[in-house]
């Protein structure tokens, strides 16, 4: 009851603009039609806002505003806010506490279009306050101030030579693999620091009807701790043999202060009618510099979705993590996810998760409310 | 007895006749595809309500005398309801002069055919009527006993005197590729 009440309250006060890789079922191979950012995610284009309306339960036509005032820098600036409230229920007793309800994400994004081909995007994010969480993970954690929990999730300049060639300079998550919203997915371990992994990058993107090619080099974010600093280069190549099928591969090589790593991976997206299938598999090799120890692991995800309606989706997912060296470890995660897009601004996700390791079986239910304002 | 003989003759004639001449045996599907000004955005749609009205072959089954087919434009779907609504409004109602949604009709009454094993390959000029607009295309139809028949052609929106449809910055290309497929039931 408390969980339901919290979800409703969040729904009343607060909307969602993450990338939907499953939209390939509607022949959208590129993120760029709906998202301003060439890598996907974040602020929506006018067309993306129209699709957000069309694909929601409330539906309707999006009417672009043409107001010019100082708030929107005379139509050059856009503001958006994304908020995510999460409720987590563990289906077993641990320390007498089973439920956590907490604000997961609060982002303010500011976009300035300096010219038709030059765009600046800054996202200022506030992370959750772990000390105020009601649940198992709050035990023993220290209070942290609002200021301590803020960081720049994105700060970048995007220059487009034409509609196919883009140069992006600045800080952002590495734009590799499937653009999954779930940052806890095993394949997203490439983001070493989770959502706060924001290296400084120079990206070159080449988009065409049949290819999307990304080449990037990166250096540490000045706010990274000394031991976390990493320099690297990566590439992602995605090929579209059909307008509803993508085949992709990626590679990353990085030198860190304490760990060097290499990643090789492949991924695919497919959709037909109400069906969508996402798959990714990555091989990661790490080298711990201080002790000359080598780590070696496989991560994968396979997710099948069925859209009962454009706004109502159910999916079954299977994820694996296998560590081969220096010790053997296996984790498997089964997910049953249901998403309901109520309006262009408000979405709900309810997910059941079952994680198993050699020693533990963990069952959880997640409830998430996403709110976007733009 | 007369009935029995008649039935026998009828069933024999059915056995002897080529399967591709039986119009009622065909189920049709139409798909269309258009690219846009944005890489990675393709508009595709289909309809499974494609009617083959007439398919007449010569007595020796070596040539196609006439084929007629039609489709109600309103049965074409793109996967997004709002997009379908825009398509009907900006294209199909515009083509029919806003009276009723356009009907796409195809008639091909002259063709030259070549038999290749079980297949019959025919080519000819087909006339299309789309609402109040007419156009012609040279088509190649391949009839196959097992797979039915398939034909592909391009439609130019400008040729139909239509305004190129656009929505919030995404604009269709002029050429729309259309594929009609009729397969055996």
- Average pLDDT value for residue range A185-199: 83
Q: How far apart (Å, rounded) are the C-alpha atoms in residues A57 and A311?
A: 6
Using only the alpha carbons of chain A, give its radius of gyration. Answer: 21
- Chain A positions touching B40 (Cβ under 8 A) are 28-33, 207, 209, 212, 240
pLDDT of residue A281: 96
Instruction: Point out the residue among B39, B44, B167 whose CB comes nearest to the CB of A47.
Output: B167
Q: How confident is the model at residue A133 (pLDDT cuts 50, 70, 90)?
A: very low
Nearest to B78 by CA among B39, B38, B149, B30: B30
User: Does the pLDDT at position A246 exceed 90?
Assistant: yes
Chain B (91-150) residues lying within 8 Å, Cβ to Cβ, of chain A = none
- Do B140 and B123 contact (CB within 8 A), yes or no? yes
Asked if the Cβ–Cβ distance from A30 to B40 is below 8 Å, we say yes
pLDDT of residue A96: 57
Cis peptide before A326 (omega within 30 of 0): yes
User: Does the pLDDT at position B18 exceed 60?
Assistant: no
In terms of CA atoms, which chain B residue is nearest residue A48?
B168
User: Does the pLDDT at position A132 exceed 70?
Assistant: no
- Average pLDDT value for residue range A150-174: 92
Q: How far apart (Å, rounded) are the C-alpha atoms in residues A235 and A338?
A: 32
Q: Hey, is the C-beta of A19 within 8 angstroms of any chain B C-beta? A: no
Instruction: Point out the residue among A27, A31, A49 whose CB comes nearest to the CB of B44.
Output: A27
Residues 6 or more apart whose Cβ sits within 8 Å of residue B56: B21, B64, B65, B66, B67
Q: Hey, is the C-beta of B77 within 8 angstroms of any chain A C-beta? A: no
Interface test with A, best of B39, B48, B179 (most A CBs within 10 A): B39
Highest mean pLDDT of the ranges A217-221, B14-18, B100-104 = A217-221
The dihedral formed by the CA atoms of B129, B135, B138 and B143, expressed in degrees to the nearest 10: -10
Rounded to the nearest angstrom, the minimum Cα separation between A318 and chain B is 27
The structure's pTM equals 0.83
Q: Which residue has the higher pLDDT, A194 or A372?
A: A372
pLDDT of residue B185: 62
Q: Hey, is the C-beta of B166 within 8 angstroms of any chain A C-beta? A: no
Q: How confident is the model at residue A76 (pLDDT cuts 50, 70, 90)?
A: confident
Chain A (277-336) residues lying within 8 Å, Cβ to Cβ, of chain B = 310
Would you say the ipTM is above 0.85? no
Token match 């997710």: residue? A303
Instruction: Point out the residue among B80, B169, B170 whose CB comes nearest to the CB of A310.
Output: B80
Q: How far apart (Å, rounded) are the C-alpha atoms in residues A301 and A297?
A: 14
Residues 6 or more apart whose Cβ sits within 8 Å of residue B141: B64, B67, B108, B111, B121, B122, B123, B149, B150, B151
Instruction: Point out the residue among A29, A47, A59 whose CB comes nearest to the CB of B168.
Output: A47
- Chain B positions touching A26 (Cβ under 8 A) are 78-80
Q: How confident is the model at residue B25 (pLDDT cuts 50, 70, 90)?
A: low
Q: How confident is the model at residue A74 (pLDDT cuts 50, 70, 90)?
A: confident
Asked if the Cβ–Cβ distance from A26 to B81 is below 8 Å, we say no
- Please tell me the number of Cα atoms within 13 Å of A109 on its side-chain side: 28
Q: Hey, is the C-beta of A213 within 8 angstroms of any chain B C-beta? A: no
Tell me: the pLDDT tens digits for B121-179? 888 899 988 887 888 888 888 887 655 788 888 888 888 888 888 898 899 999 999 98
Chains A & B: contacts with CB separation below 8 Å: 70
pLDDT of residue B147: 58
Instruction: Tally Cβ neighbours within 10 Å of residue B84.
Output: 15
In terms of CA atoms, which chain A residue is nearest residue B83?
A54
Q: Hey, is the C-beta of B44 within 8 angstroms of any chain A C-beta? A: yes
Q: How far apart (Å, rounded) are the C-alpha atoms in residues A154 and A42?
A: 10
Tell me: the pLDDT tens digits for A286-337? 999 888 888 999 999 999 999 999 999 999 999 999 998 788 889 999 999 9
Rounded to the nearest angstrom, the minimum Cα separation between A354 and chain B is 33
């Amino acid at each position: 009851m408390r969980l339901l009440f919290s979800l409703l309250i969040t729904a009343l006060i607060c909307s969602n603009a993450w990338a939907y890789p499953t939209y390939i079922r509607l022949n959208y191979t590129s993120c760029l039609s709906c998202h301003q950012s060439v890598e996907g995610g974040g602020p929506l284009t006018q067309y993306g806002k129209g699709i957000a309306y069309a694909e929601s339960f409330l539906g309707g036509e999006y009417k672009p505003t043409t107001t010019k005032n100082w708030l929107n820098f005379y139509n050059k600036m856009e503001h958006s806010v994304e908020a995510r409230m999460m409720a987590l229920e563990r289906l077993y007793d641990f320390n007498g506490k089973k439920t956590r309800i907490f604000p997961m994400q609060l982002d303010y994004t500011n976009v300035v279009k300096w010219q038709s081909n030059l765009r600046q995007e800054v996202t200022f994010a506030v992370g959750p306050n772990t000390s105020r969480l009601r649940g198992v993970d709050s035990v023993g954690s220290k209070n942290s101030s609002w200021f301590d929990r803020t960081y720049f999730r994105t700060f970048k300049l995007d220059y487009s030579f034409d509609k196919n060639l883009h140069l992006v300079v600045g800080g952002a998550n590495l734009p590799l693999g499937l653009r999954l919203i779930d940052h806890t997915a095993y394949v997203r371990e490439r983001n070493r620091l989770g959502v706060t992994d924001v290296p400084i990058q120079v990206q070159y993107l080449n988009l065409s009807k049949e290819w999307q090619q990304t080449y990037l080099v990166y250096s540490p974010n000045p706010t990274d701790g000394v031991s976390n600093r990493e320099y690297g280069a990566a590439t992602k190549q995605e090929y579209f043999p059909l307008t509803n099928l993508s085949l992709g591969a990626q590679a990353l090589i990085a030198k860190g202060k304490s760990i060097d790593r290499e990643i090789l991976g492949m991924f695919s997206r497919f959709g037909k009618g109400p069906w969508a299938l996402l798959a990714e598999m990555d091989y990661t090799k790490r080298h711990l510099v201080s002790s000359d120890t080598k780590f070696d692991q496989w991560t994968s995800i396979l997710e099948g979705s069925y859209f009962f309606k454009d706004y109502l989706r159910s999916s079954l997912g299977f994820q694996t993590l296998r560590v081969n060296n220096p010790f053997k470890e296996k984790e498997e995660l089964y997910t049953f996810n249901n998403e309901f897009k109520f309006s262009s601004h408000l979405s709900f996700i309810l997910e059941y998760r079952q994680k198993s390791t050699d020693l533990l079986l963990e069952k959880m239910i997640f409830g998430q409310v996403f709110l976007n304002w733009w | 007895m007369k009935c029995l003989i008649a039935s026998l003759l009828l069933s024999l004639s059915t056995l002897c006749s080529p399967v591709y001449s039986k119009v009622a045996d065909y189920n049709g599907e139409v798909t269309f595809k258009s690219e846009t000004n944005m890489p990675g955005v393709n508009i595709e749609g289909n309809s499974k309500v494609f009617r083959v009205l007439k398919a007449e072959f010569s007595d020796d089954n070596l040539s196609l005398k006439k084929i007629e087919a039609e489709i109600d434009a309103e049965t074409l779907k793109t996967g997004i309801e709002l997009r379908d609504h825009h398509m009907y409004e900006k294209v199909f109602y515009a083509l029919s002069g806003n009276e009723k949604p356009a009907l796409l009709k195809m008639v091909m009454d002259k063709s030259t055919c070549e038999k290749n094993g079980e297949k019959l390959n025919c080519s000819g000029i087909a006339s299309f009527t789309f609402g109040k607009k007419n156009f012609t295309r040279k088509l190649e139809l391949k009839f196959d006993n097992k797979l039915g028949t398939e034909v592909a052609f391009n439609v130019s929106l400008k040729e139909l005197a239509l305004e190129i449809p656009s929505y919030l910055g995404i604009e269709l290309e002029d050429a729309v590729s259309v594929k009609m497929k009729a397969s055996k039931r």
